[in-house]
Amino acid sequence: MTKRLEGKSAIVTGAGRGIGEGIARTLASEGAAVLVVDRDEASAAAVARDLRAAGARAEHAGTDVSSAVAVAAMARQALELFGRIDILCPNAAIFDGARIADMSEALWDKLLSVNLKGVFLCVQACLPAMTAQRYGRIVVTSSITGPRTAIPGMAHYAASKGGVNGFIRAAALEFAALGITINGVEPGHVMTGGTASMYDAGFTRAVESFIPMGRFGQPEDIARAVLFLASDDSAYVTGQTMVVDGGVTLPEYPPGYPPPP
């Protein structure tokens, strides 16, 4: 059976762990050559080695997505390795928390430089190659936090992801005539190595109790949505974001209230 991404190349940022790693593995399993990008180069290299061991074509890059110079080098590397850039998944993000009253300007700037400016820089760096080939699939990792929900202590994160969604819509209009689509996914509560280390058993059970599907998402749940938007199955979809949250944003009332009719 033909793989959906056979002959395509992809860049995935923040792919040394968590959701980004899940995206890289899923795209590779569907035939894409993948540049695994992470600011932690050792983590990116380890994921790329695993993908090659599984028979995929994969390379890695240690890249700070908040640096225009570093991101431009990333795009050049992908072109040198693969000859084209078909799929871009700007996934890298940070989420250091702080209440507004206590938040430093430096923390605000640091988070937005990665989460929001990093998306802009990655898209801008890959745009010439996609424009020249009249083809591109850009899938950005957003979040339900900001566009749909909020958490105290995460105003900067919410602002960054709200900004990402606005960027996606505006970019879609600019790119539509160029053969390039841009869409996003909005993950809900996803269990990764990083979140697992932060959550104790009691907190995990409490969160699961208000997720209608009764479980945390896994990186693969997000990656499968990305795969759809990165493939030609979504050729007529652009400027959209897909919520992947197990239904957590649906209830109007807390679990158990009001009682069922």
Instruction: Tell which residue, 205, 228, 192, 214, has the closest CA to residue 87.
Output: 228
Tokens 């898209």 sit on residue: 123
| 59: pLDDT strictly greater than 90 | yes
**How far apart, in whole angstroms, are the C-alpha atoms of residue 133 and residue 123?**
15
- 161 occurs within a structural domain: yes
- 247 occurs within a structural domain: no
Exactly one of 157, 199, 253, 257 is catalytic; which is it?
157
- 1 occurs within a structural domain: no
For a pLDDT cut of 90, what percent of the chain falls above it?
A: 89
Number of domains in the chain: 1
* Interacting residues of 56 by C-beta distance below 8 A, sequence separation 6+: 28, 29, 32, 33, 34
In the chain the first and final C-alpha atoms are separated, in Å, by 48
- The four Cα atoms 115, 31, 221, 24 give a dihedral, to 10 degrees, of -30
- 253 occurs within a structural domain: no
Domain that holds residue 194: 9-242
- 248 occurs within a structural domain: no
- 259 occurs within a structural domain: no
Provide the H-helix boundaries in 54-147. Answer: 68-82, 105-115, 117-133
- 4 occurs within a structural domain: no
Phi-psi region of 18 (alpha: psi -120 to 50; beta: other; left: phi over 0): left
Q: What is the 3-state secondary structure (H, E, C) of 2-67?
A: CCCCCCCEEEECCCCCHHHHHHHHHHHHCCCEEEEEECCHHHHHHHHHHHHHCCCCEEEEECCCCC
Q: Is 35 exposed, middle or buried (0-12, 13-18, 19+ CB in 10 A)?
A: buried
Q: What is the pLDDT of residues 17-58, one digit of tens each?
A: 999 999 999 999 999 999 999 999 999 999 999 999 999 999
Active-site residue 157, yes or no? yes
Q: Which CATH number fits the domain that encloses residue 175?
A: 3.40.50.720
Q: What is the pLDDT of residues 181-235, one digit of tens each?
A: 999 999 999 998 877 777 788 888 989 999 999 999 999 999 999 999 999 999 9
- 112 occurs within a structural domain: yes
| 171: pLDDT strictly greater than 70 | yes
One-letter amino acid of 59: E
Helix 117-133 / helix 155-175 crossing angle, nearest 10 deg: 20
